[in-house]
Amino acid sequence: MRRYLALLVPMLLALSAQANDPPSKPIKSASAKEEASASAASGSASASASTKEERKPGAKESKESAKEAAVRAKEALAADELAARIAERLSVIRKEKDEAAARSAPKPVPRPAYAPPVRRPEVVKSKSDHGGGNGAAAGTLAVHGQVHWSYQGEGGPLNWGKLNPANAKCDIGERQSPIDIRDGIKVDLDPIAFDYKPSRFSVVDNGHTIQVNMGAGNYINVLGHNYELAQFHFHKPSEERVNGKSFEMVAHLVHKDADGKLAVVAVLIERGKAHSLVQHVWNNLPLEKNEPVQALTTMDMNDILPVKRDYYTYMGSLTTPPCSEGVLWLVMKEPIEISPDQLTIFSRLYPMNARPIQKNSGRLIKESN
Ligand SMILES: [Zn+2]
């Protein structure tokens, strides 16, 4: 019995000391030690009841009385009881510790499950996206929408490419419009087949120009390819030049094919006699910007075409952001006329809404012979 007590007492002391330790101490190694010593204790107790106890009497004093054996058995039983009690106490201590750990742990444990650590990388990601665009300043401008494209100042043509990464072509495109049309190759160009008919229309002041949206059913055919007229609008002065010469205005008739490819017919406008179709548009000018006014009459787009249908043609781009390329340009050689009063009406709304001339970059220009 004394032997067991000698083993058990320091163990209990160690346990009680450990129970008072803060939970931050190495709990696992301590409990592993406990488990080891506990199993050692119970192991030695049961071992003493079997092999050890049997070997001792057999080896040393074979004359050991049955009474002594009974006493030893009783001692072993008491030791077993004690070991069981210790094991019980141990489990209580362990349980208390686990509960204490659970009470103090909740803060650190759910943290990884909360959103912040997940959200943080997203914030970082979007920041890096801004930086990955056309530069941080350009990204900020575009994101906050503080600077809209225009024809002058901060939003002017030289900054279009920087206002939004989607406008990159405005800066780096090699087939941009408008151009100064010169040195064209004179060939027998197929005439543009115009298939226009009187159509419903609406007029909108979109903040950049006056635009006329056309009802369906107006087509051109170029080299066997069909394009439908979507809208036309005006620029002052004309965006395109011919041999360096600029015109008072230009009308751009924007056509689209089934695949969304664009063909723009440009009709140059000179100062001269009043034009009935232009007057028809001016008569329907909306009072508010960005609010289209549906006209009660129809418009026949044949009326805007010059008598002679010779033209220049080259591949270019939209002349407004995003400056998308792959646009087929068809510039009528013969200008039409509008009156000084009609010019004044437009210039009161848009005194200057023309993009500057762009590099030709060796593009081929063809013109009717
Ligand atoms: Zn235009």
| Token pair 């900020």 in the structure block, residue | 140
Average pLDDT of span 177-193 = 97
Q: Ligand 1 centre from 322 Cα, in Å?
A: 13
Please write the tens of the pLDDT for every residue from 299-323: 999 999 999 999 999 999 999 999 9
- Sign for the pseudo-dihedral over CA of 49, 53, 54, 57: negative
Q: Ligand 1 centre from 264 Cα, in Å?
A: 8
Q: Is 233 a catalytic residue?
A: no
Q: Ligand 1 centre from 296 Cα, in Å?
A: 25
Please write the tens of the pLDDT for every residue from 333-349: 999 999 999 999 999 99
Could you tell me which of 233, 269, 263 has the C-alpha nearest to residue 330? Answer: 263
295 or 33, which is more confident? Answer: 295
**Helices and strands of the chain, counted as H and E runs:** 10, 15
Among 93-107, 185-199, 219-233, the least confident range: 93-107
- Cβ–Cβ < 8 Å for 332, 310: yes
Side chain identity at 299, as an amino acid letter?
M
Q: Ligand 1 centre from 51 Cα, in Å?
A: 105
Percent of the chain with pLDDT over 90: 60
Coil, strand, or helix at residue 12?
A: helix
Token pair in block for residue 138: 């350009």
Could you tell me which of 179, 155, 164, 139 has the C-alpha nearest to residue 325? Answer: 179
What pLDDT does residue 306 have?
Answer: 98
Selected catalytic residue, list 144, 208, 233, 235: 208
Q: Ligand 1 centre from 101 Cα, in Å?
A: 73
Please write the tens of the pLDDT for every residue from 140-177: 344 444 689 999 999 999 999 999 999 999 999 999 99
Token pair in block for residue 268: 């140059």
Q: Is the pLDDT of residue 61 over 60?
A: no
Q: Ligand 1 centre from 295 Cα, in Å?
A: 22
- Cβ–Cβ < 8 Å for 312, 365: yes
Classify residue 156 by its DSSP letter: S
What pLDDT does residue 67 have?
Answer: 60
Task: Indicate the average pLDDT of the chain.
Answer: 76
Please report which confidence band the pLDDT of residue 81 belongs to, taking 50, 70 and 90 as the band edges: low
Q: Ligand 1 centre from 235 Cα, in Å?
A: 6
Counted residue by residue, the chain has a size of: 369
Q: Is the pLDDT of residue 224 over 70?
A: yes
What pLDDT does residue 42 have?
Answer: 39
What pLDDT does residue 234 have?
Answer: 98
What pLDDT does residue 283 have?
Answer: 98
Q: Ligand 1 centre from 142 Cα, in Å?
A: 23
Average pLDDT of span 322-337 = 98
Token pair in block for residue 52: 């050890």
List helix spans (H) across 105-241.
116-131, 136-144, 160-163, 168-172
Q: Is the pLDDT of residue 368 over 50?
A: yes
| Token pair 């106890």 in the structure block, residue | 53
DSSP string, 37-87: HHHHHHHHHHHIIIIIHHHHHHHS-TT--HHHHHHHHHHHHHHHHHHHHHH
Strand 325-332 with 262-271, pairing? parallel
246 or 96, which is more confident? Answer: 246
What pLDDT does residue 147 have?
Answer: 81
Q: Ligand 1 centre from 267 Cα, in Å?
A: 10
Dist CA 261 CA 258 (whole Å)? 7
Q: Ligand 1 centre from 196 Cα, in Å?
A: 20
Please write the tens of the pLDDT for every residue from 96-123: 555 554 455 444 444 433 333 333 333 3
What pLDDT does residue 91 have?
Answer: 54
Q: Is the pLDDT of residue 329 over 80?
A: yes
Please write the tens of the pLDDT for every residue from 267-287: 999 999 999 999 999 999 999
